[in-house]
Amino acid sequence: MSGKYIAAALLLFFMLAPVPRAFGQGACSVVYLDKKQVPMAELGCYGVPVTVKTGPVKLPGICLTGVRSGTRAAANKLQTGDVVMKINGLAVPTPKALNDIMINLKNSIVNIDYGRLKNGKFQMHRQEFLQVASHANAYASRPVTDLENFMYTLVDADRKKKGLKGLKRSSGLAKMARSHADDMAKRNYTGHVTPEGRGTVERYKISGLKMEGGITENCAYPFAQPNPLDMVRSGEEQLMGSEDHRANIMHPDIVTAGIGIAYRRDGGLMIVQVFSSAPIP
């Protein structure tokens, strides 16, 4: 049988056949399509879009880059490096697609088909569980102003550990940061660019602030925890653990900061930090 027909048969099998507990797909490779990790709150993990190549066959999936303990992903034995291919038979080409599917499966049986690369073979597995609707409002037990104040404290503490000065709080930058955090939470997206394509600088200009000095922005998306302050601490730890984000926090030239936080529907947080080298009021 030619490679063309083998590829077609493999693809048809993947699309139509029920996935057994585990089976070898043969030699394969996983190609990353993006380096940016995206949180998938409904599972409690981070991931990036990938293409799984098995010979001439190419299939979309999400490679898990981090699995948080105590989440649905961890409870169902998903691990860092696993590639989620389908949920209830639906392809998941992006983290957002995965999250949207999970949101629509509240109070339903969920089947997750995922692959795990082992000894050069891509072995498929299936996990089944009941997706129960979460009660996100139960987490929102503290006003966001308390959380924002705590984040200012954490940022200053991290800077002072390296002999850097604390930052002056800017109400203008805080308004900009809070607006972006609220928008991400309301429209369920992440990142520095809005669905309309507005990046940090454009949002800064729209906010009415005078353009002086340089500005940088950090975003973090900690998963839901019973104590909101623990989520804030987790967000700062995530940022300090990333070279680029840590550089923004620890830059010796910045003098002002604005922080905005919003609760997500799943109880987690959208955290936005904006820094400037100018004394923005």
In this prediction, residues 91-119 reach a mean pLDDT of 87
Report yes or no on 281 lying in a domain. Answer: no
Specify the pairing of strand 121-131 against strand 24-27.
antiparallel
Structure tokens at 277: 């080298």
Q: What local confidence, expressed as pLDDT, does residue 146 receive?
A: 92
Q: Is 248 part of a structural domain of the chain?
A: yes
Please determine, for residue 163, whether its predicted confidence score (pLDDT) is greater than 70.
yes
Nearest CA to 206 out of 179, 181, 182, 183 is that of: 179
| pLDDT category of residue 36 using cuts at 50, 70 and 90 | confident
Same domain, 110 and 178: no
Please give the pLDDT value at position 216.
96
Sign of CA pseudo-dihedral 18, 23, 24, 30? positive
| Residue 230 and residue 253 share a domain | yes
Average pLDDT over residues 246-251: 97
- Which among 187, 183, 191, 223 has a CA at the least distance from the CA of 42? 223
User: How high is the pLDDT of residue 20?
Assistant: 32
Same domain, 73 and 110: yes
pLDDT at 132: 64
Residues 199 and 267 in one domain: yes
What's residue 140's pLDDT? 55
User: Do 68 and 51 touch, CB atoms closer than 8 A?
Assistant: no
Q: Is 222 exposed, middle or buried (0-12, 13-18, 19+ CB in 10 A)?
A: buried
Distance CA 122, CA 50 (A): 14
Cβ neighbours, 10 Å, residue 203: 21
Nearest in space to 263 (alpha carbons), one of 233, 237, 225: 225
Q: Are residues 23 and 103 in the same domain?
A: yes
- Could you tell me if 148 and 268 lie in one domain? yes
pLDDT of 92 reads 94
Q: Is the pLDDT of residue 211 over 50?
A: yes
Q: Phi first, then psi: what are they for 190, rounded to 5°?
A: -135, 160
Q: What is the mean pLDDT of residues 232-249?
A: 95
The type of residue at 129 is F
b or e along 64-98 (b: 16 or more beta carbons within 10 Å of the residue's beta carbon)?
bbebbeebbbeebebeeebbbbbbbeebbbbbbbb
Neighbours of 122 (CB within 10 A): 22
Helix (H, G, I), strand (E, B) or coil at 206: helix
Lowest mean pLDDT among 2-16, 36-50, 63-77, 163-177: 2-16
Q: Is residue 59, in this structure, part of any structural domain at all?
A: yes
Nearest to 200 by CA among 218, 183, 182: 218
* In-domain check, residue 222: yes
* Residues of the chain above pLDDT 90, percent: 54
User: What pLDDT score does 133 carry?
Assistant: 59
215 shares a domain with 117: no
The answer to whether residues 232 and 185 touch, using CB atoms and an 8 Å cutoff, is no
Instruction: For the chain, give the mean pLDDT.
Output: 84
Contact assessment for residue 164 and residue 278, using Cβ atoms and an 8 Å cutoff: no
Residue 40 inside a domain? The answer is: yes
Last residue of a domain, one of 98, 131, 164: 131
Nearest to 25 by CA among 150, 134, 115, 151: 115
Do 155 and 273 contact (CB within 8 A), yes or no? Answer: yes
Domain range enclosing 250? 136-276
**pLDDT level of residue 38 (50, 70, 90 thresholds):** confident
Average pLDDT over residues 114-137: 76
Token output for 253: 């030239």
Number of domains in the chain: 2
